[in-house]
Amino acid sequence: MLKAGELSDMFASRIATIRRHIAPRFLSARSSHANVESLERLGIRIEPNVRKALSEGLPVVALESTIISHGMPYPQNLSTAKEVESVVKQHGATPATIAILNGVPCIGLTEEELEFLAQCGSAAAKTSRRDIAQVISRGVTGATTVSATMFFAAKAGIHVFVTGGIGGVHRLGESTLDISSDLTELGRTPVVVVCAGVKSILDIPRTLEYLETQGVTVVSYGTEEFPAFFTSKSGCKAPCRVDSPEQCAAIAESNLKLELQSGILIAVPIPDQHSAAAEHVETAIQTALQEMREKNVQGNAVTPFLLKRVNELTGGDSLASSILSCMQVDQLSVAL
């Protein structure tokens, strides 16, 4: 299994390559439209550095928090969260990790709050859009999924959000109707989501069909094939290909100008040399799916269970790929 330091070393050359493309773009500048005072009147707390950036129209990148609480064990989750925020800062943007802490929606977390959330782990409520009201009303801590993070990012006028992989249509979803709210959120919230594709544990062809139904622009970066989170290969052709941050920004600009009111999904493949072997991961997924059915794991427990078991069955290879995916897509997000 790759250690965090080895991941950083491998990633250094990627940072140097993309750095020359990176500059604050109009998308992040549009954050100046956010009415910070009105957000705070709604009980939404904005971290001081994020508040300053929003008020001055400086670039801000939203980050989800479920990957911290449910995606990785402590302390690896904390070190990864800090490293992802560091990549954003290195390239001239302000990171805004979003979570609900003791019933208070927070846009941007301090180091102490990141530590608190990382230590909470799965004790934090996994919070999608559906769960926001009840998590706040009960005064508990909730880690936001893609859908909840998009909701709060849009409220704050943050138009770029980065995550590892989005949810989608689960395998056997045609029978269970288990479809992530990430997909419907992408259909109604104008936020650019930069990720490493749809999680390999899901039904990727059906997920892409569902995104088309929702009117979501789906883009692959530098490849004709839509990536699959742990690996750059999914077997599915991407609806659209782009090869530069400028092309990504142009698509997003058109979307906002026309007020399409839908999100944009930009999938950045993990480098082939760092991806988990596709056949190895697929075998692990099939085993984990069988165990899930035997244990009758359902609802929002499905994804954490599958990711944990796939990581165990691959000897940590899938987690290493997940960490690298998070940092990989983070670079493109600040270019927007």
Query: Of 91, 97, 84, nearest to 7 (Cα)?
Result: 84
Q: Give the class (CATH, top level) of 166-335.
A: alpha beta
The model's pLDDT over 101-118, given as tens digits with 9 standing for 90+, comes to 999 999 999 999 999 999
The answer to whether the CB of 265 falls within 8 A of the CB of 190 is: no
Mean pLDDT of 186-207: 92
Lowest average pLDDT, out of 56-60, 175-179, 229-233, goes to 229-233
- Using the predicted structure, report yes or no on whether residue 48 has a pLDDT greater than 80: yes
The answer to whether the CB of 46 falls within 8 A of the CB of 40 is: yes
Query: Of 216, 297, 223, nearest to 267 (Cα)?
Result: 223
Range list for CATH 3.40.1790.10 in the chain: 27-158, 166-335
The answer to whether the CB of 323 falls within 8 A of the CB of 5 is: no
Residue with tokens 């929002």: 300
Phi and psi at residue 17, to the nearest 5°? -65, -45
Query: Of 216, 198, 194, nearest to 207 (Cα)?
Result: 198
- Using the predicted structure, report yes or no on whether residue 262 has a pLDDT greater than 90: yes
The model's pLDDT over 148-172, given as tens digits with 9 standing for 90+, comes to 999 999 999 999 999 988 999 988 8
What pLDDT, on the 0 to 100 scale, is given for residue 29? 44
Kindly give the residue spans of alpha helices, DSSP state H, lying in 258-301: 278-295
- Using the predicted structure, report yes or no on whether residue 318 has a pLDDT greater than 90: no
Instruction: Report the share of the chain in percent with pLDDT over 90.
Output: 55
Lowest average pLDDT, out of 13-22, 105-114, 294-303, goes to 13-22
In the chain, count H helices and then E strands: 16, 11
The answer to whether the CB of 319 falls within 8 A of the CB of 72 is: yes
Quote the CA–CA distance of 196 and 203 in Å, as a whole number.
15
Provide the residue type at 206 as one letter.
Answer: R
Phi and psi at residue 288, to the nearest 5°? -65, -40
The answer to whether the CB of 272 falls within 8 A of the CB of 207 is: no
Highest mean pLDDT of the ranges 147-161, 222-236, 259-273, 285-299: 147-161
What pLDDT, on the 0 to 100 scale, is given for residue 293? 83
Whole-Å CA distances, 144 to 51, 76, 141, 298: 20, 19, 10, 19
Confidence of residue 71 (pLDDT cuts 50, 70, 90): confident
Mean pLDDT of 54-71: 91
Q: How far is it between the farthest Cα atoms of the chain?
A: 53
Just list the catalytic residues. Answer: 64, 199
- Please give the mean pLDDT across all residues of the chain: 83
Mean pLDDT of 58-81: 91
Q: Which residues pair with 194 in a beta bridge?
A: 162, 266
Task: Give the helix/strand (H/E) hosting 97.
Answer: strand 94-101
Provide the residue type at 284 as one letter.
Answer: A
C-alpha gyration radius of the chain:
18
Quote the CA–CA distance of 189 and 153 in Å, as a whole number.
10
274: DSSP letter:
G
Name the more confident of 325 and 199: 199
Task: Give the helix/strand (H/E) hosting 124.
Answer: none
The model's pLDDT over 232-251, given as tens digits with 9 standing for 90+, comes to 888 999 999 999 989 999 99
Mean pLDDT of 299-306: 79
What pLDDT, on the 0 to 100 scale, is given for residue 300? 76
What pLDDT, on the 0 to 100 scale, is given for residue 212? 97
Provide the residue type at 142 as one letter.
Answer: G
Give pTM, 2 decimals.
Answer: 0.80
Mean pLDDT of 57-76: 90
- CATH 3.40.50.920 assigned to domain 27-158? The reply is no
